[in-house]
Structure 1
Amino acid sequence: MPRKSVQVQAEQTATAVPRTIQIIRSEDTSAINVQEFCARNKIGESSYFYLKAIGHAPKSTRVGRRVIIFPQDEAAWRQSIQDNPLPTSLRRAAEAITKREAA
């Protein structure tokens, strides 16, 4: 007899737990990794790590072993390089991107 009551209890518990998980995603939260950031902004990965070392890189977030950059952080970085110019070697690439987006 106790065996049936345990089985009934397990069935009731299983039906109480929702079976589907809904994931809500928004388009404005699509993050990019460092390689995609470098390709989008026409800079090399070594330049990104140089910028990070001198404190001029965009804010990045570590998720596990991945490093991701959110679009709002990339936009803030672009605004900051207009206010605080980059080293000469990177300034030309940044100016070209700004002109391309303005057009």
Structure 2
Amino acid sequence: MTADNPLNRIDDDDYPAYTMGRAAEMLGTTPAFLRAIGEARLITPLRSEGGHRRYSRYQLRIAARARELVDQGTSVEAACRIIILEDQLEEARRINEELQGRPAGLPDKADT
């Protein structure tokens, strides 16, 4: 297989393989929901050559988390903000652990 072979992307979480309709179907939601979380800048789908939205598996996981929050009664805008803050917190923790010279995920001595 060459580098340009689409089969090389089959395990790529960032490859935009899913159409809006298929993504909505997989999440059990509507295209309007996907557009709403896109407008809230939670995810930014790539566009096909024809201008159609395409979603990656990574983006679908984020959208699924947003749907979970919305199903619990959180507004779309608030759900998107919560997920963005959760992601920022996780990144800050990862950077902090790196700077302290610990492998990510190991408890701090103060935690034990």
- TM bucket by the smaller chain? 0.3 to 0.5
More helix by share: 1
TM-score normalised by L of structure 2: 0.44
TM-score normalised by L of structure 1: 0.47
